[in-house]
Structure 1
Amino acid sequence: MALKREQRERHVVVHDHGRGPEPCFRSDYADKSGHDHTRGRGLGWGRGWTQWPVRVLLGALTLSVVVASGAAGLERYLSRKYMSPQAPLTRASITSADKVDWTRQGLGLPDHAPPVVLTFHDVNKKSTSPYALTPRAFDAQLTALEKAGYRTLSAKQFTNYMNGGPTPRRSVLLTFDDGTDGLWKYADRILAKHRMRGTIFLITGSMDKHRPYYLTWREIERMHGSGRWDFQSHTRAMHSVRQVDATGNTGAPLINRLWLADKGRRETPAEYRARVLHDLAGSVEDIVNHGMPTPTMFAVPFSDGPGQQDADSTDSQARHLLKELFPLVMTDHSGVPLTASRRSASAGLVQRVEVFAKTTPDEMLAAVGERVQVPADAHTPLSETENWGGRQTRTSFGVFLGKVPRSAQIPRYAKADYRPDSSIDWTDYSVTTTIGALGNGTNQAALGVRTNSKEPMTVVVTRNRAILLANGYKVASQPLDPKSDHTITVKVGQDTTTAYVDGHVQLTHVSDQPADQLTGGVTIRSGINRTGNEWPVFRALDISPLDRTPGRG
């Protein structure tokens, strides 16, 4: 018995059968130990033929966890670096009286009209810049627009109208120049509150730089993804002033050939063209490469500053270069106030209404209301003194109504335009006026149509003659029965202007200019030859669509 126990003990082997180390009493184990992979190792994962695939899988899982953890950490780092936290929503303190007044300012305006374009720059709680609105001020501006019945358009909707699409409901295009970080931090939530849209003109070369003043591309991509924001070009790196001559004078790089110090000369026209096109194309590329649509609009840098108007001029080299890439150019200053209209679409140039830190909601609404295009239909415009602009006189509008104060300071010439910013698209209308006090033969008055167009037309009358001027040049002249009062009716068609004086004297001119560049409103003028003479008097004035005008046709 003891011998058998001793023999069993000699054959006890500690072995791992897949469940950890344990005694093995198999008498044939030693003979088969060389084939271990056919025995116990097959009882557990990672043993036998499964060991390498399982180890590879476990390694891959471990690596993926490490990578995911690292990616999450990197994302947190990049978000902290390139995503500013948004400030809590700020609400303006607005009284019920304010809301009622803003609603009133929208009454009487057309329900459908070409949009008006507004320019903002920055929304920032702490900035002292005259261009930066506080969040509360921005909220008040949007509330005023909302109460007055304005809607906002996307860049695509605005472009669609300018390309000949249907006239939208009364609306505005909110534009923001430069691309400041305050638009993400403060303006975005305010815009969302009002369910409005905004269009930002980016200086693309400044994004991700000069933090925290400018936006980052991460913020821009998030804003674009919200559906509230569109992005257009404000150059890549030409929002600056640089040296333009040997004496050190500076100017805007968009409209000036720059001084090349290393070569001791200015850029050649070819070098200027290549530089500007490279910058403009680069700004488009920057926006497209971040997943946004190709820009169709461009905002001129410093368009409200002195010496920058050349970029807005239709015959400037800068304008020709801009037209190669952008169908529409935005400016805050232009010699002709082409607010959004069919005529501005044809010219490819739109003048905006600029909003500053000091601009009140009432002032902003008044400026927008003046630019809403209205129909050519006004029967007592001489009583609407607030709607006459473009005056060239040092006295009141009363000079046209015979209310002239006796003073040596009164000039000899006066001019006023009726709704100059809201009659840009007028055509197919008739205007009739009666002018009196022409009895002494030393004074004259005039009725103008197609104001601010490519070819404004003017009918000048004196006591005994009528003259038709096209862009200041005489194209027709007829004698009149001498008398102190004359009645003028002018009919304005697509390209034809016909004037009747006293119902029977006719003067006609057919323009060779494009019809879409001939639209415009009404102007009145008065003049005296010597101080102390009697001023002509406009006794009545009526504007009507052609199909409503009585008289000859």
Structure 2
Amino acid sequence: MGDTVENMKNEQKKVRIWFTVIAISLACALSFSVWRAHDSVYLRPVYVRKMFAYMPYRIEYLLSRTLPAHAAEIPARAFAQEVPVLLYHGIVEEPDGANVLQRDFADQLFALKQAGYATVTLADFEAFLDGTKTLPDRSVVLTFDDGRKDSFYPVDPVLHALNYTAVQFVITNYSLGKDNEESPFYLSVAELKALQKTGRWEIASHSKAAHDFYAINEHGEEGHFLSNALWIPSENRYETSSEYMLRIYEDLRGARDNLKTALGVETNSFAFPFGDFGRAGTNLSGSEQLLLHVVGKIYKRAYYQTWGSDGETHNRAGEGLLVRRINVSPLWSGDDLVRALEAGRTKDLLYSGEQANDHDWQRLWGDISVAAENLHLQAPSDGDSAAAFLNGSTMWSNYEIDAHATVLAGTSFSVIARFKNGRNYVVCNFTEDATTVDEHIQGVIRSIAAHIPGNLSKGEHEFSMQVYNNRIACILDGEKIMSVMLVSPDLLSGGIGFKTGSRVNGESHAVVRSVYVRGI
């Protein structure tokens, strides 16, 4: 017994000696590192904290692997038919109404991982868009705008724990300029290089100086750099279209060149500041077309935030220059985010509204809500209509829509088909005065046919619409009102939606109680 105790004491002594040797060695190594690289980003307290944050996230994820309920209901496919791109800015410790809290961000990414989502690189994603590469089902791209410190330090430990990757869209004037080392807000060159070395991050362009506001008229009113002609006070005039295009070209090309010079990054990807390419108001006629022309000369892909009238939230092969991004709400839980992504998956063409989740119906305009599987459409006090679109339905082609709805107020109810976005779709428009078929092409409305008188009244109705090749049929309460031929060849596929309207602002309200769609 005495020998055993003595042996234990000797072993404990050896452990203490080895522990002391290791501690001294680590202290010496740290001191040497500080002496050799006293200004290294890796030794900054915020970076050290980030390194130690990885393991708790990893342990928490492994201990909390419970599948979000909604994701389990939708089976996986062999390959992705669509890929969502998520947009974040800062990840913050205190609520600010705009950015996601650090705790909520971790919950969101844990939920994505548990639901089977995996991140992909820009190269793989853009090859998917080109149609040259297949991706696993539930692929997703994570993006962060502005090159902010609070989009790297709180984020990287979570990416590390989940084996995820992400993209930083950097404003080069802020991160690569001469004063960038002193910025308390934007990542410096040294920090961006450290970010690159993790292997978890890619860097792309968010412009050079286009993220500021500039004078756009003689009164000093300010607007977005990319979508407006600037005011030249010394000459008391606006830029010409040629001057506008040259300014845009020099900024966007300059940002791309800066990234290559400072960081060795060669990028074909650009994110519009504020997600705006002329849709938030402009003082220059045709600025959207001019801007997209210039952007396409420099970059292969241009990323923007989806707005209500954009319709679809996800991206599919063959869609061209513009890439949609989902701006993640600071109010979303992890399960909310999963539901939003699941809603954008391509839906089967045998659809019942009972299958819907509360993110399926995308607001186009007006006030939209979903409660107890009922879709409510109500015009706001300053508008005469409201409309919603079924996310994930744009790949549909030939089908019949049957909907039961209650018209509570207003003078019209419309069934939307072949919906591509808020500017391109066809509609059966039921009113008190007439039933019409209207084509919307690039925002221009063309009435194809009308049947007078109309049969719409307040109360319960069954609204139906059939689309087969270029033939459209409008049906109300089981009676076929008309069957006509489409004029435009551009509306041979697309999704579904509903619209309610009135001649008076704020006096339109309908409730869609059931929806059934089948292929024909």
Question: Conserved in 2, the CA contact under 8 Å of 1:465 and 1:477?
Answer: yes
Residues 1:254 and 2:226 aligned together = yes
User: Aligned to 2:164, which of 184, 196, 216?
Assistant: 196
- Output the amino acid matched with 1:378: Y
Which of these two proteins has the greater Rg computed from alpha carbons? 1
Shift of 1:356: 5.4
Distance 2:204 2:446 in 1: 42
Distance 1:523 1:162 in 2: 26
User: Aligned to 1:175, which of 134, 143, 149?
Assistant: 143
The structure carrying a bigger strand percent of its residues is: 2
Distance 2:276 2:247 in 1: 23
The unaligned stretches of length 5 or more in structure 2 are: 1-32
Distance 1:538 1:129 in 2: 36
Question: Conserved in 2, the CA contact under 8 Å of 1:467 and 1:477?
Answer: yes
Matches within 5 A, 1:144-223: 144-164=111-131, 165-166=133-134, 168-208=136-176, 209=180, 210-223=182-195
Aligned residue for 2:68? 103
Aligned residue for 1:294? 266
Question: What do residues 135-165 of structure 1 show as CA deviations (whole Å, max 9, x unaligned)?
Answer: 4443222112112221112111221222224
Shift of 1:323: 2.3
Aligned residue for 2:91? 123
Shift of 1:528: 8.1
Question: Conserved in 1, the CA contact under 8 Å of 2:306 and 2:327?
Answer: no
The higher-RCO structure (CA 8 Å, 6+ apart) is 2
Question: What do residues 66-107 of structure 1 show as CA deviations (whole Å, max 9, x unaligned)?
Answer: xxxxxx99962553599773422154697999854x521312
Pair 410,384 (structure 1): closer, same or farther in 2 beyond 3 Å: farther
User: Aligned to 1:449, which of 413, 417, 435?
Assistant: 417
Question: Conserved in 1, the CA contact under 8 Å of 2:84 and 2:313?
Answer: yes
Pair 274,108 (structure 1): closer, same or farther in 2 beyond 3 Å: same
Shift of 1:373: 3.5
- Output the amino acid matched with 2:167: T
Question: What do residues 379-436 of structure 1 show as CA deviations (whole Å, max 9, x unaligned)?
Answer: 34598777444377779879x99999xxxx99998755352x332x323230232779
Matches within 5 A, 1:242-281: 242-281=214-253
Question: Conserved in 2, the CA contact under 8 Å of 1:114 and 1:167?
Answer: no
Pair 222,314 (structure 1): closer, same or farther in 2 beyond 3 Å: same
Q: Percent identity?
A: 20
Question: Conserved in 2, the CA contact under 8 Å of 1:303 and 1:332?
Answer: yes
- For normalisation by structure 1, the TM-score amounts to 0.67
Aligned residue for 2:447? 474
Question: What do residues 451-474 of structure 1 show as CA deviations (whole Å, max 9, x unaligned)?
Answer: 244531112457997532212422
Residues 1:432 and 2:401 aligned together = yes
Pair 480,234 (structure 1): closer, same or farther in 2 beyond 3 Å: same
Aligned residue for 1:48? none
Q: Say which SS state the counterpart of residue 68 (structure 2) adopts.
A: helix
Question: What do residues 227-263 of structure 1 show as CA deviations (whole Å, max 9, x unaligned)?
Answer: 3111111001222112333322222222233334444
Question: Conserved in 2, the CA contact under 8 Å of 1:477 and 1:507?
Answer: no
Distance 1:396 1:133 in 2: 23
- Output the amino acid matched with 1:273: M
Shift of 1:174: 0.6
- Output the amino acid matched with 1:321: V
Pair 117,110 (structure 1): closer, same or farther in 2 beyond 3 Å: farther
User: Aligned to 2:40, which of 55, 79, 100?
Assistant: 79
Shift of 1:196: 0.3
Distance 1:412 1:256 in 2: 27
Residues 1:458 and 2:427 aligned together = yes
Aligned residue for 1:511? 488
Distance 1:483 1:81 in 2: 69
- Output the amino acid matched with 1:85: Y
Pair 145,254 (structure 1): closer, same or farther in 2 beyond 3 Å: same
The alignment covers a number of residue pairs equal to 457
Distance 1:445 1:204 in 2: 49
Question: Conserved in 1, the CA contact under 8 Å of 2:227 and 2:287?
Answer: no
Q: Say which SS state the counterpart of residue 448 (structure 2) adopts.
A: strand
Pair 377,79 (structure 1): closer, same or farther in 2 beyond 3 Å: same
Aligned residue for 1:341? 315
Question: What do residues 459-511 of structure 1 show as CA deviations (whole Å, max 9, x unaligned)?
Answer: 24579975322124221356899999877441254xx3432755796322142
- Output the amino acid matched with 1:201: F
Aligned residue for 1:21? none
